[in-house]
């Protein structure tokens, strides 16, 4: 017999639709400004701005797929995806992280040669574009900065890179109005890109345990098992597992071996205590197999 405890398994659109709406706004802001960047890059003869435009085109793709996956992650389960689509949001975050990694490598490939052979662009035009770039990307990033999902956090990192990039362009363009030092632009671009790459590595380290179904850092499996073993009538706990669907919603399964053939009221009491433990630890979903005294565990294969 399986005792099934389910937390918030309904169809909750609110948080996902709010996050998806913010990603959508960021997507259209970024797409519109990318067009402005391409035109402005040619007009100012600035390879730095054109490189940013190429990077922002990649960001547009990242934002577009993040918008799609964030909306999809709020859908309820079906016969194929029984847990729903929550992990699709994490998959979107992984795609965005890979794109961020590739775009950073692209920027480095353009910036390093410019350190050796710098070119002088139209500094005045760069100042104007940089001010608009900081404002547009900053506005988009602020809309995403308060969201909790990993997908939106990674997208916000994309936009943070854009904001820092435009701040660098602004600083460099102002300096170039007064000082003949064009190599400053690619030097700052390299420093910013290295900073962003450090965040990319941090995001990858936080995502890989989710895909590998590791126990989340904010939950102690030993503590939960110890609490269950302290329940009346529970002799032992085995096959206990905890993993996360998307970095926020955790799933718990376990086998409980009772020391008796319980009466209905005792069985109901065990279920109530389990429900309390699940709620106390903020578990999204739990499934518990109840094994009576002397019953063989169904996960143990019989000898051949």
CATH code of residue 14: 1.20.1510.10
Task: Please give the pLDDT value at position 17.
Answer: 56
Q: Would you say residue 144 has pLDDT above 80?
A: no
Assess whether pLDDT exceeds 50 at residue 218.
yes
Measure the CA–CA gap between 48 and 246, rounded to whole angstroms.
Answer: 36
Domain assignment present for residue 298? The answer is no
E strands in 141-277: 234-244, 250-258
Are both 100 and 177 inside the same structural domain? yes
In a domain, 89, yes or no: yes
107 with 256, same domain: the answer is: no
Confidence of residue 146 (pLDDT cuts 50, 70, 90): low
pLDDT band per the 50, 70, 90 thresholds, residue 300 = low
Domain boundary pick from 171, 190, 211? 211
Please tell me whether residues 156 and 269 are part of one structural domain: no
Name the residue with higher pLDDT: 145 or 183.
Answer: 183
Q: What is the CATH number of the domain that holds 254?
A: 3.30.70.1350
For residues 143 and 253, membership in a common domain is answered with no
Dihedral sign, CA of 286, 290, 291, 296? Answer: negative
The predicted structure's pLDDT at residue 274: 92
pLDDT in tens, 70-112: 677 667 778 888 877 778 777 877 887 887 788 788 888 888 8
d(CA 128, CA 135): 11
The number of angstroms, rounded, from the C-alpha of 212 to the middle of its chain's C-alpha atoms is 15
Q: How far is the CA of 46 from the CAs of 49, 95, 99, 218, 295, in angstroms?
A: 5, 29, 23, 47, 75
Say how many domains are in the chain: 2
Last residue of a domain, one of 189, 211, 233: 211
Place 3 in a pLDDT band, splitting at 50, 70 and 90.
very low
In a domain, 216, yes or no: no
Q: Identify whether residues 239 and 198 lie together within a single domain.
A: no
Q: Which of 143-152, 183-192, 230-239, 289-298 has the lowest mean pLDDT?
A: 143-152
Q: What is the pLDDT of residues 254-276, one digit of tens each?
A: 999 988 877 888 888 888 999 99
Report the candidate in 57, 68, 67 with the shortest Cα–Cα distance to residue 22.
Answer: 67
47 vs 122, residue with greater confidence: 122
Q: Are residues 52 and 152 in the same domain?
A: yes
Q: Which residue bears the tokens 């718990």?
A: 252
Q: Is residue 233 part of a domain?
A: yes
Q: What is each CA distance from 87 to 27, 136, 219, 240, 254, in whole angstroms? A: 21, 30, 19, 21, 22
Predicted TM-score (pTM) of the model is: 0.68
Q: How far apart are CA 175 and CA 166, in angstroms?
A: 14
The domain in which residue 258 lies consists of 221-291
Q: Which of 156, 177, 211 is the last residue of a domain?
A: 211
Residue pLDDT, tens place only, 201-217: 888 888 899 999 999 98
pLDDT category at 150 given cuts 50, 70, 90 is low
């Amino acid at each position: 017999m399986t005792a099934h405890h389910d937390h918030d398994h309904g169809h909750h659109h609110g948080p996902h639709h709010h996050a998806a709406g913010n990603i959508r706004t960021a997507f259209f802001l970024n797409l519109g400004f990318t067009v402005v960047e391409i035109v402005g890059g040619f007009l100012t003869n600035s390879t730095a701005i054109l490189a940013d435009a190429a990077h922002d085109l990649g960001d547009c793709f990242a934002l577009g797929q993040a918008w799609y996956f964030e909306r999809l992650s709020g859908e309820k389960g079906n016969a194929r995806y029984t847990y729903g689509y929550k992990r699709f949001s994490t998959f979107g975050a992984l795609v965005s992280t890979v794109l961020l990694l590739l775009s950073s490598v692209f920027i480095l490939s353009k910036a390093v040669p410019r350190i050796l052979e710098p070119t002088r662009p139209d500094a005045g035009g760069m100042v104007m574009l940089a001010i608009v770039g900081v404002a547009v990307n900053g506005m988009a990033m602020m809309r995403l900065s308060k969201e909790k999902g990993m997908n939106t956090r990674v997208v916000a990192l994309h936009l943070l890179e854009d904001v820092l990039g435009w701040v660098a362009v602004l600083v460099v363009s102002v300096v170039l109005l007064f000082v003949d030092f064009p190599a400053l632009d690619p030097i700052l671009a390299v420093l910013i890109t290295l900073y962003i790459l450090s965040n990319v590595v941090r995001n990858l380290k936080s995502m890989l345990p989710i895909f590998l179904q590791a126990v989340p850092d904010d939950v102690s499996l030993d503590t939960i098992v110890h609490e269950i073993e302290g329940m009346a009538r529970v002799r032992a706990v085995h096959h206990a597992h905890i993993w996360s669907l998307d970095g926020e919603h955790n799933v718990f399964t376990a086998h409980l071996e009772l020391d008796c053939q319980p009466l209905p009221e005792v069985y109901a009491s065990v279920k109530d205590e389990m429900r309390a433990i699940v709620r106390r630890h903020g578990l999204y979903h739990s499934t518990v197999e109840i094994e009576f005294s002397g019953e063989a565990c169904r996960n143990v294969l019989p000898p051949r």
